[in-house]
């Protein structure tokens, strides 16, 4: 959410940013908000004037009564009553205007960074850099589910019976591999100096609307019936929510956190052949990284975060590339974002395995996440998040890139201690 002062003083900057995101239908909202804000401030000023006048006149009543001027006191009482009635109406109007302004402000997209490429959708995202050499072996690389089934590592049929499409049973060495990757990711981030967390898996609606846009919420979140609780789609939601309505001393920044959680997503609109496997699913697990920092440091942290993901995947012998998200592909709260994509030897292309985002002060403004400077002044923090790893999707890249000709799976050195010393899954 933007600062209302920006719309008051530079509405054209906001409108131009909306155009860059190809959301022209929202341009009219800027003028609407500016007009409502004028009305809100005029109403607030009038309320303040009436309160002051009422307080002054209320004090006069006691003085008049003390002097025996009862009739004059009754007249003042009548005026105070009229002021109270007008004030009640104006206070209601003030509350309604404030709520309507906030509701409309939540729809206005954040100002994107100047470095973001302009494009309508993900087809116009821009490759930044490749890491590792993409390799296609001279033997067949089967579909990832077929690889898992040959190793007795997955049971989709039973999951369909118990839960429906988009769910799975992992078993045996594949289940162990899944857990090993998460354990390695946890220790990888702890070694980077991040504090490990296991957060709540459900959050209240005010946290949901604080961390994401309405469009994202509608397409992702599962609501707990009869309660003000939602299942998290990623641990970033509850980790950023942890700082709601807090004031952190500047000396304690940056906050660098890494969190594990299961994740639950509707995946509305997901379709295609990958639904047969574990690419788009309703339940998965993830290791995340979150940073809360000073505004001037957020772009440095942005680069550090995506570089951590690249280093993690390369330590498992998986070629990756980074892809800069264009303006039209950025969620409304994001200032800048890039995807980390892993190489698929079977498909002979890269696919997304993680996303790194700088949200500027958007989440902080919605949730009241402030910083206290040494001089006592307060300002909004910047928040960032990035995926370390999200199996079982990541298993697709792992299995394909570590598949031997005989169908066995090579275990990279970094994972062996988490796999009981195993070097190969047969």
Alpha-carbon distance of 342 to 321, in angstroms, equals 7
The yes-or-no answer to whether 4-105 and 122-425 have a common fold is no
Q: For the chain, what are the domain ranges?
A: 4-105, 122-425
Backbone phi, then psi, for 75, in 5-degree steps? -60, -45
Q: What is the pLDDT of residue 71?
A: 84
User: Which residue is associated with the tokens 């908000």?
Assistant: 33
Sign (positive/negative) of CA torsion 294, 109, 340, 203? positive
Output DSSP code: residue 94: H
- 231-234: list long-range contacts, CB under 8 Å, 24+ apart: 231/201, 231/202, 231/264, 232/199, 232/200, 232/201, 232/202, 232/203, 232/261, 232/263, 232/264, 233/263, 233/264, 233/265, 234/261, 234/263, 234/286, 234/288, 234/385, 234/387
Report CA dihedral (289, 292, 297, 303) to the nearest 10 degrees: 10
User: Which residue is associated with the tokens 């709601």?
Assistant: 244
User: Which residue is associated with the tokens 């105070």?
Assistant: 80
CATH of domain 122-425: 3.30.930.10
Q: What is the pLDDT of residue 25?
A: 96
Q: CATH class for domain 4-105?
A: mainly alpha
Q: Yes or no: say if 313 and 351 are a contact pair by the CB < 8 Å rule.
A: no
pTM of the model: 0.89
Backbone torsion region of residue 407, taken as left when φ is above 0, otherwise alpha when ψ lies between -120 and 50, otherwise beta: left
Q: What is the pLDDT of residue 272?
A: 43
Chain Cα centroid distance, residue 66: 63
Output DSSP code: residue 91: H
Burial 266-285 (b: 16+ CB within 10 A, else e): ebeebeeebeebbbbbbbbb
Sign (positive/negative) of CA torsion 45, 364, 12, 10? positive
Per-residue pLDDT of the chain (426 residues; tens, 9 = 90+): 899 999 999 999 999 999 999 999 999 999 999 999 999 999 999 999 999 999 888 888 878 887 888 888 888 888 889 999 999 999 999 999 999 999 999 999 999 999 999 999 999 999 999 999 999 999 999 999 999 999 999 999 999 999 988 899 999 999 999 999 999 999 999 999 999 999 999 999 999 999 987 777 777 899 999 999 999 999 999 999 999 999 999 999 999 999 999 999 987 655 443 456 888 889 999 999 999 999 999 999 999 999 999 999 999 999 999 999 999 999 999 999 999 999 999 999 999 999 999 999 999 999 999 999 999 999 999 999 999 999 988 999 999 999 999 999 999 999 999 999 999 999
Q: What is the pLDDT of residue 60?
A: 86
């Amino acid at each position: 959410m933007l600062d209302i002062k920006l719309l008051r003083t530079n509405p054209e900057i906001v409108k131009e940013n909306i155009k860059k995101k190809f959301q022209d239908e929202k341009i009219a909202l800027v003028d609407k908000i500016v007009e409502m804000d004028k009305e809100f401030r005029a109403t607030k000023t009038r309320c303040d004037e009436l309160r002051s006048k009422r307080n002054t006149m209320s004090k006069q009543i006691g003085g008049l009564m003390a002097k025996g001027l009862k009739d004059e006191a009754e007249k003042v009482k009548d005026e105070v009553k009229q002021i109270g009635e007008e004030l009640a109406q104006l206070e209601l109007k003030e509350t309604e205007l404030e709520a309507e302004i906030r509701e409309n402000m939540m729809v206005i997209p954040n100002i994107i960074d100047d470095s973001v490429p302009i494009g309508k959708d993900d087809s116009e995202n821009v490759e930044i850099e490749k890491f590792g050499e993409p390799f296609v072996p001279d033997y067949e690389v089967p579909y990832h589910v077929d690889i898992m089934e040959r190793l007795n590592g997955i049971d989709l049929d039973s999951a369909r019976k118990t839960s429906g499409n988009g769910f799975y049973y992992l078993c045996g060495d594949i289940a162990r591999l899944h857990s090993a990757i998460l354990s390695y990711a946890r220790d990888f981030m702890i070694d980077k100096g991040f504090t490990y967390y296991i957060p709540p898996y459900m959050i209240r609606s005010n946290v949901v609307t604080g961390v994401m846009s309405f469009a994202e919420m509608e397409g992702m979140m599962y609501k707990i019936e009869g309660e003000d609780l939602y299942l998290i789609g990623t641990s970033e939601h509850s980790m950023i929510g942890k700082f709601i309505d807090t004031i952190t001393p500047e000396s304690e920044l940056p906050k660098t956190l890494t969190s594990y959680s299961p994740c639950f997503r509707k995946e509305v609109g997901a379709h295609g052949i990958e639904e047969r496997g574990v690419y788009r699913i309703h339940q998965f697990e993830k290791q995340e990284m979150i940073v809360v920092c000073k505004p001037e440091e957020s772009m440095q942290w942005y680069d550090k975060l995506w570089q951590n993901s690249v280093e993690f995947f390369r330590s498992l012998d998986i070629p990756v590339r980074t892809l800069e998200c264009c303006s039209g592909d950025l969620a409304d709260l994001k200032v800048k974002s890039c995807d980390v994509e892993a190489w698929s030897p079977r498909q002979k292309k890269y696919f997304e395995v993680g996303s790194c985002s700088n949200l500027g002060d958007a989440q902080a403004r919605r949730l009241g996440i402030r910083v206290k400077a040494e001089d006592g002044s307060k300002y909004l923090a910047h928040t960032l998040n990035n995926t370390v790893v999200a199996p079982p999707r990541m298993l697709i890249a792992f299995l394909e890139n570590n598949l031997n000709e005989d169908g066995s799976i090579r275990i990279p050195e970094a994972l062996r201690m988490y796999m009981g010393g195993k070097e190969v899954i047969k």
